[in-house]
Structure 1
Amino acid sequence: MMLAGLAQAQQPPTPPPEAGMPPPGANKDVTTLGEVRALKPDEDVPLDLYGYQNPVQIEPNSFNRAWREPPSLEQVGMSGGYVMMGIYYVIGKTAQGLHTLTRAPDPIQSATARPPPELDEAQQRRALLLCAQDGCGAPPGG
């Protein structure tokens, strides 16, 4: 055994393989993958590796408008508890009912523009004369 160890010690060391060249005993038919890039997910939510991922993606439908996700325990605690949330819900529904009964205008209304002022014939003639004297750039009456 000592002779085998001495014989191996006397052999010249093999040079390290170059970066592009496969080692001498490697199979030439092996294909290698190209560059792999990890992309950042679109959401800023931390990835839950143990969470269930539903493979079925359902299109939005008419039930999506009516469905409200129940609050988490943290949200319940921050809102004052279930009793306070119930009180706020009843107050909101009462205000909604009063608004419907009184037929009052909504708190936020869309803006409506008034029509531009109309000039009568005397005002149009006066504007033409002033424009002719001062040389205004815009055509009058249009």
Structure 2
Amino acid sequence: MMLAGLAQAQQPPVPPPDAHTPPPDARKDVTTLGEVRALKPDEDVPLDLYGFKSPVHIEPNTFNRAYREAPSLEQVGMSGGYVMMGIYYVIGKTAQGLHTLTRAPDPVQAATARPPPELDEAQQRRALLLCAQQGCGAPPGG
């Protein structure tokens, strides 16, 4: 404390502002920040203030389909434990095997488009006449 008091006593006194001197330009003293964006956090993941956030972000690739991260202890506990998870895994694999053996169709099947309807001779003539009356650009079925 005494050193601070001595250092303050050695500095020259600041003169009071004079009425004749103009005030310093305020714009020179102001520092501005760059653009700041507030990003909405992921709603699925709770915010962990003490968790490590990796600065490296890797885009998804082909290995992401096959890789499955091991469940955390919390997830294991919520699922009924390792025994129940093992039972569910065996039941799932058994269902896959039965599905393969019976060659049953998948629950979700790919959509197949039906062919366009074919017009007979009378319908084609009627369509050409109607097109000629309405002034179509190209004949139908063409």
TM-score by length of 1: 0.56
Aligned residues: 118
- Name the SS for the 1:105 alignment partner: coil
| Residue of structure 1 equivalent to 2:26 | 20
Instruction: Evaluate the alpha carbon distance shift between residue 102 and residue 37 of structure 1 in structure 2; reply closer, same or farther with a 3 A threshold.
Output: same
- Aligned-residue offset at 1:76: 2.0
- Aligned-residue offset at 1:33: 4.8
1:74-113 matches, within 5 Å, as 74-113=74-113
Structure 1 unaligned blocks of 5 or more: 1-10, 23-30
1:1-142 matches, within 5 Å, as 14-15=16-17, 20=26, 33-36=31-34, 38-41=36-39, 43-44=41-42, 45=45, 46-48=47-49, 50-54=50-54, 60=60, 62-125=62-125, 131=130, 141-142=140-141
- Aligned-residue offset at 1:141: 4.2
Partner Cα distance (2:62, 2:53) in 1? 23
Describe the superposition over 1:58-95 as per-residue Cα deviations: whole angstroms up to 9, x where unpaired. Answer: 56555433221122233223222222211111111111
Structure 2 unaligned blocks of 5 or more: 1-12, 18-22
Counterpart of 2:32, as a letter, is G
Partner Cα distance (2:99, 2:35) in 1? 56
- Aligned-residue offset at 1:122: 3.5
Instruction: Evaluate the alpha carbon distance shift between residue 126 and residue 73 of structure 1 in structure 2; reply closer, same or farther with a 3 A threshold.
Output: same
RMSD: 3.9
Partner Cα distance (1:128, 1:58) in 2? 59
Counterpart of 2:38, as a letter, is K
- Aligned-residue offset at 1:37: 5.4
Counterpart of 2:37, as a letter, is L
Partner Cα distance (1:84, 1:137) in 2? 71
- Aligned-residue offset at 1:34: 2.8
Counterpart of 2:26, as a letter, is G
**Identity fraction in percent:** 67
TM-score by length of 2: 0.56
